[in-house]
Chain A
C-alpha cells in the first residue's frame, strides 16, 4: 500500500488559506484527471468542502509525492500553505480518512453532512475512473466505519445548537410538533432561527407580535404566518403551544397571572416558553405553574454545552472503534499484497509438476487407473510439501512490516515473474 493524504482543514488553516485552495465543483473532474495522470499516481480522490481540501492518492511504488502535485496544480506560493498542510501516509492516512468520514474531524463534532460530502467526492472520482481497486476498498470501508460509529456511539445524536435544543425540548413536551402553533414575541434573528427549526419539524403555523408592527408583518410573511398587534398579545397568546420571546422590554412581559389565565383558557394543555431575551421576558415564577415550561437562554445554553460534552465523551469511544478498524483494514490490505505471489508460486510449481509427468509418462508404458492415480497423488504431495513453508512464511509476513522484503526474496528464489498488483475491488479471486 502506498497511500498518501495531504490537505488543509479548519483547524490547520485559516479561511484565507482555505478559500484560495478551494476547488470549484465544476473543476473537480478535471482536477481528478490531472491527479491520476500525474507520474506514479494510480488512483486518487479529492475532497473539497468549506472546511477542508484534501487529496488522497494511491501510488505505484511510493516514490510519488503529492506535495509536488499540489504545488503544480494550485500554483500558489508554497510558503502560503506549507505551514498549514498536513501529510499522512499509510495507516495515518487511513485513520485520518476514517476520522473525517465519521465526523470526528468536523468543526461541529458529529455533524452528519460530512459523510454525504465524502460520498459525493467518491462518486465524482469513480465517475472519472480515478478510483478503482485499492481506494475503492478504502472508501467503502470508511463508509462502513462511519456507519458503525453512528450506530454504536451517540456522537451525532444530541442537539448542539440553541435552536435544536429548543426543538428537542418541544418534542419532549408535545411529542410530535404536528398541529402545534408557535408564537414569536419580538422579531429577532435568534427567535426567527428557532421558529424556522420548529417549522422544519412540523409545527403548524406561526403568529408574530412585535412592538413595531411592520417588522412583525415582514417576519410573518416569511413564514406565511399571521402578524398580531402587540396590544392583543395577552388575548391571543393562549392559542400558541410554543412561545418564543425576544423583546427588549426592561421588565418581564409574561407574569404568573398571565400564565394562569392562559392555562385556564387552554384547559390546562401545556405551554412551552422559550425566553431568549436579556433581560428576561418571562417571569421565572411562571415555571412553577403546572403545565407551563419556561426555558431561558441560560437553560438552553447549558443544555447545549452538556450535549457538546456528551459528544466529546462519545468521540473517545469512536476513536477506539476507528483504531481497531484501521488495523483491520491494514491487515486485509497486506494479505492482499501477498496473494499474487502465492498464486504465481502455485502456478509455477504446478507447471513444473506437469512438465515432469509429461516427460517420464511415455517411459512408464500402460498403467492401470490406480497407478495413474498414485502418480498424481505422489507428485501433488511433493509439490504441496515444498510449497507449504514459503506460503505460510508469506502469510505471516503479510501481517508484519517486512512483507515486501519476503515477497521479493521468494520471488527471486523461485524465479517468479513480476505480475500486476491484484485488483482488490473484485475481492481476492486474483489470478495475477
Chain B
C-alpha cells in the first residue's frame, strides 16, 4: 500500500513538475491554478505513504535509502509550503517541484529498499540525527532555489525587459526567503551533526574523523557556515550568494553520496 499512495503522490507532483517546466516559458492559467492544490494533495498522499511504511515496518524506517529520499522530498515540500504561507508565492516551486518529483520518482521506481548495514542504526538517536540533517538539507535546497530565482529576477531587471520574469516575487523578497531558509536550516544541520557525533562516540567510543562521510559532512557544514557569515556580515547576495549556495548544496550532495563509501553509513541490499 505505501507504494500505491506514493505513486498517487508522484502523479500529483508531476503536475508541479509540468508547472515548473512551463512557468518560465509561457503563461498557463490552468496550471497556475491547479499546481498548488495538486502539490498539497501530493503531500497528503506522500505523508500517508510514509506513515504507513513506518507502521508496517514497526520502526522509524528512515534508514532505508528510499524512505529517506522520500522523507527528504516531503521535508522540502513542507519548507516550500511554509514559504508559500508566509510570502504567498509559488515561485520557489520552479526549482523545488522538479527536485521533489525526482526524489519521489527514485523512491517509486526503486526496487527493494536498502538497509543500513551497521548495527549502530538501531539507536533512537538515529532518527533525530537523520531528521535534523534532512531538515537542514531541505532548507539549504530552498535557499539554493531562492538564489536561482534571485539571479533570474536580477537578470530580468537589468535587461530592462519585463517579460515572463515579471511574475517572480520582488528581488528583496526572494532574498529574504533565501536568507531565512538558510538561517533556519543552520541550527538543524548543526544539531543533526552533533547527534551523529554522539552516536559515533557512544557506539565506538571515538569519532572516526577519516571516515569520508564524516569528513565531507563537516566540510559541508563549514561551507554552510561561510555562506551564512558572508550573507550576514557582508550582505552577499545575487551572483556571489548563488555560487556559495551552489557550493554548499554540492558538498551536501557529496556528503550524501558518501554513504556509498562510508563504513558506518554504507547501505547494502537486504
A residues within 8 Å of B by Cβ? 169, 171-176, 266-270, 287, 290-291, 293, 295, 299, 302-303, 306
Q: Does B173 contact A (CB under 8 A)?
A: yes
Cross-interface CB contact of A302 among B154, B160, B240, cutoff 8 Å = B160
Cα–Cα distance between A302 and B161 once the two chains are bound (Å): 9
3 tightest CB-CB pairs across the interface, nearest first?
A267-B235, A175-B170, A268-B235
B235 touches A266 (CB 8 A): yes
Beta-carbon nearest neighbor of B230 in chain A: A268
B170 touches A287 (CB 8 A): no
B157 touches A172 (CB 8 A): yes
Q: How far is the CB of B70 from chain A (nearest CB, A)?
A: 35
A293 touches B157 (CB 8 A): yes
Beta-carbon nearest neighbor of A310 in chain B: B162
Cα–Cα distance between A78 and B233 once the two chains are bound (Å): 76
Beta-carbon nearest neighbor of A303 in chain B: B162
CB neighbours (8 Å) of B169 from chain A are 175
CB neighbours (8 Å) of A293 from chain B are 157-158
Q: Does B192 contact A (CB under 8 A)?
A: no
CB neighbours (8 Å) of B240 from chain A are 290
Q: How far is the CB of A290 from chain B (nearest CB, A)?
A: 5
Q: How far is the CB of B108 from chain A (nearest CB, A)?
A: 38
**With A174-B170, A175-B170, A175-B172: A267-B158 Cβ-Cβ less than 8 Å:** no
Q: Does B238 contact A (CB under 8 A)?
A: yes
**With A287-B158, A290-B154, A295-B160: A173-B235 Cβ-Cβ less than 8 Å:** no
Show 19 A/B contacts (Cβ-Cβ < 8 Å), sorted by A: A171-B170, A172-B170, A173-B170, A173-B172, A174-B171, A175-B169, A175-B171, A175-B173, A267-B233, A268-B237, A268-B238, A269-B235, A270-B172, A287-B158, A290-B238, A290-B240, A291-B238, A293-B157, A306-B162
Beta-carbon nearest neighbor of A298 in chain B: B160
Beta-carbon nearest neighbor of B165 in chain A: A172
Which residues of chain B from 211 to 240 have a CB within 8 Å of any chain A CB? Answer: 233-240
Beta-carbon nearest neighbor of B169 in chain A: A175
CB neighbours (8 Å) of A287 from chain B are 158
Cα–Cα distance between A310 and B71 once the two chains are bound (Å): 45
B171 touches A173 (CB 8 A): yes
Q: 12 new A-B pairs (CB below 8 Å) besides A268-B237, A295-B160?
A: A172-B157, A173-B157, A173-B170, A175-B172, A175-B173, A267-B233, A267-B234, A268-B234, A269-B235, A291-B237, A293-B157, A303-B162
Cα–Cα distance between A178 and B256 once the two chains are bound (Å): 42
Q: How many residues of B contact A (CB 8 A)?
A: 20
**With A171-B170, A175-B169: A290-B239 Cβ-Cβ less than 8 Å:** yes
Beta-carbon nearest neighbor of A291 in chain B: B238
Beta-carbon nearest neighbor of B162 in chain A: A303
Q: How far is the CB of B241 from chain A (nearest CB, A)?
A: 9
CB neighbours (8 Å) of B171 from chain A are 172-175, 270
Q: Does B51 contact A (CB under 8 A)?
A: no
Q: How far is the CB of A180 from chain B (nearest CB, A)?
A: 10
Q: Does B166 contact A (CB under 8 A)?
A: yes
Q: Please encode chain B, from 164 to 181, with 1 for each CB lying within 8 Å of some chain A CB and 0 for all others.
A: 001001111100000000
Beta-carbon nearest neighbor of B156 in chain A: A172
CB neighbours (8 Å) of A270 from chain B are 171-172
Which residues of chain B from 40 to 85 have a CB within 8 Å of any chain A CB? Answer: none
CB neighbours (8 Å) of A302 from chain B are 160
Cα–Cα distance between A291 and B175 once the two chains are bound (Å): 12
Q: How far is the CB of B133 from chain A (nearest CB, A)?
A: 30
Beta-carbon nearest neighbor of A267 in chain B: B235
Q: How far is the CB of A158 from chain B (nearest CB, A)?
A: 9
B237 touches A174 (CB 8 A): no
Q: How far is the CB of B29 from chain A (nearest CB, A)?
A: 11
Cα–Cα distance between A293 and B170 once the two chains are bound (Å): 13
Q: Please encode chain B, from 228 to 260, with 1 for each CB lying within 8 Å of some chain A CB and 0 for all others.
A: 000001111111100000000000000000000
Beta-carbon nearest neighbor of A306 in chain B: B162
Beta-carbon nearest neighbor of B237 in chain A: A268
Beta-carbon nearest neighbor of B157 in chain A: A293
Q: How far is the CB of B162 from chain A (nearest CB, A)?
A: 7
Cα–Cα distance between A176 and B172 once the two chains are bound (Å): 9
**With A175-B170, A175-B173, A267-B235: A169-B157 Cβ-Cβ less than 8 Å:** yes
Q: How far is the CB of B159 from chain A (nearest CB, A)?
A: 10
Q: How far is the CB of A241 from chain B (nearest CB, A)?
A: 9
Cα–Cα distance between A303 and B163 once the two chains are bound (Å): 11
**Most chain A beta-carbon neighbours within 10 Å: one of B166, B169, B237:** B237
CB neighbours (8 Å) of B238 from chain A are 268, 290-291
Cα–Cα distance between A173 and B157 once the two chains are bound (Å): 8
A174 touches B172 (CB 8 A): yes
Cα–Cα distance between A194 and B261 once the two chains are bound (Å): 62
Cα–Cα distance between A135 and B72 once the two chains are bound (Å): 63
CB neighbours (8 Å) of B160 from chain A are 295, 299, 302-303
Q: How far is the CB of B224 from chain A (nearest CB, A)?
A: 20
CB neighbours (8 Å) of A171 from chain B are 170
**Most chain B beta-carbon neighbours within 10 Å: one of A174, A175, A176:** A175
CB neighbours (8 Å) of B237 from chain A are 268, 290-291
**Most chain A beta-carbon neighbours within 10 Å: one of B153, B171, B234, B240:** B171
CB neighbours (8 Å) of A291 from chain B are 237-238
Cα–Cα distance between A174 and B162 once the two chains are bound (Å): 16
Q: How far is the CB of A326 from chain B (nearest CB, A)?
A: 26
Beta-carbon nearest neighbor of B174 in chain A: A175
Cα–Cα distance between A347 and B237 once the two chains are bound (Å): 81
Q: How far is the CB of A239 from chain B (nearest CB, A)?
A: 15
